[in-house]
Structure 1
Amino acid sequence: MPPKPYLRPSHPDDNPAIAAIIRSVMTSYGAVGPGFSIEDAEVDEMHETYDVPRSLLLVVDDGAGRVIGCGGIAPLAGGDADTCELKKMYFLPEARGLGLGRELMMTLEEAARNRRYRVVYLETLGSMVEAAKLYQRLQYTPLAGPMGNTGHTRCGSFYAKTL
């Protein structure tokens, strides 16, 4: 039987794999250039960026030590203290459709509650249709516009959920 994927906290050694996943997924959606998260300085140092109070970065390990997905929470830039952003949630194609996105989001929501956040905000591309379906199934409400000041000016879909 093949190993079962599982969630775990990120480690510094995961940085290259996480950066490669982010760049691969964003490029596959044509989301390259200023205003997209692929340009964020944190992409190459994800573990260190999220290894701070009120933040968390989880990776999806394929069960054999290979990172196949990631996602995290952090305070919303330019937002209030009660709001976190669910960020950098990306999966390699082989990790999609297995329920890992739902598991990751629910785990991050629990982590947000434990860090005393009341609202989870996220933004995505309109072309990420399957992701939008997941957000709505998990009771995220579509918003008319962005919250905070993330710098992701080219994202066109925004969601929030009160915990």
Structure 2
Amino acid sequence: MDSAIIREIRPEDNAEVAQLIRNVLVELGVPKVGTAFADKALGMLYETYNVQNAAFYVLVNQEKLLGCGGIGPLEHQGEPICELQKMYFLPEARGKGWGSDLMRVCLNKAKDYGYKHCYLETMPNMIEAQKLYKKWGFEHIDMRMGNTGHFSCPVWMLKRIW
């Protein structure tokens, strides 16, 4: 059975992770404006997530970086809500259960940090991603939360952290 390692992002991962995210977004036809593609922090994710109550992980198989994702505080939100952020996988990593593995790591970290809910934004055509989110208890909500800057992402989901 093929296995992958999930580890925290390192400074030397920044460029490769940024390229992975952009490649997946282009593959899926996601707008370059109002999505993670345009995030100013995309090239410095290690530094961005190397702060209190945030964590970012990479998924590695046979020394190749195949996926990523993390959690961080939802900006401009009063209660302790985190956001599942930048969870993307290259095609060769999909369908192997690694998304659930990374989701487990992220949600456990969110629980450790004391978050009560986890929010995410996605695109309507990211059907497989939405199936994963629903499997983990995320439910669709009908309004945007916080101030993510991702105004092109019209699908919003929320999960109560156990």
TM range (shorter): over 0.9
- Whichever residue aligns with residue 65 of structure 2, its letter is V
Distance apart, 1:80 and its partner CA: 2.4
Q: Aligned residue for 1:155?
A: 153
The answer to whether the 8 A contact 1:75-1:81 is kept is: no
1:127 to 125, 128, 139: 125
Q: Aligned residue for 1:54?
A: 53
Q: Aligned residue for 1:40?
A: 39
Gaps of 5+ in 2: none
- Whichever residue aligns with residue 64 of structure 2, its letter is R
- Whichever residue aligns with residue 76 of structure 1, its letter is L
2:153 counterpart SS class: coil
Counterparts of 1:157 and 1:149 in 2: how far apart (Å)? 14
Task: Write out per-residue CA displacement over residues 50-81 of structure 1, whole angstroms, 9 at most, x where no aligned residue.
Answer: 0111000010011x322110000000011124
Q: Aligned residue for 2:70?
A: 72
Counterparts of 1:135 and 1:73 in 2: how far apart (Å)? 14
Counterparts of 1:15 and 1:106 in 2: how far apart (Å)? 23
Distance apart, 1:96 and its partner CA: 0.4
Distance apart, 1:5 and its partner CA: 1.0
After the TM superposition, which parts of structure 1 deviate over 6 Å for at least 4 consecutive aligned residues?
Answer: none
2:103 counterpart SS class: helix
Distance apart, 1:107 and its partner CA: 1.0
- Superposition RMSD in Å: 1.2
- Whichever residue aligns with residue 125 of structure 2, its letter is S
Counterparts of 1:56 and 1:133 in 2: how far apart (Å)? 23
Counterparts of 2:63 and 2:46 in 1: how far apart (Å)? 16
The answer to whether the 8 A contact 1:32-1:39 is kept is: no
Number of corresponding residues:
161
1:142 counterpart SS class: strand
2:33 counterpart SS class: coil
Q: Aligned residue for 2:97?
A: 99
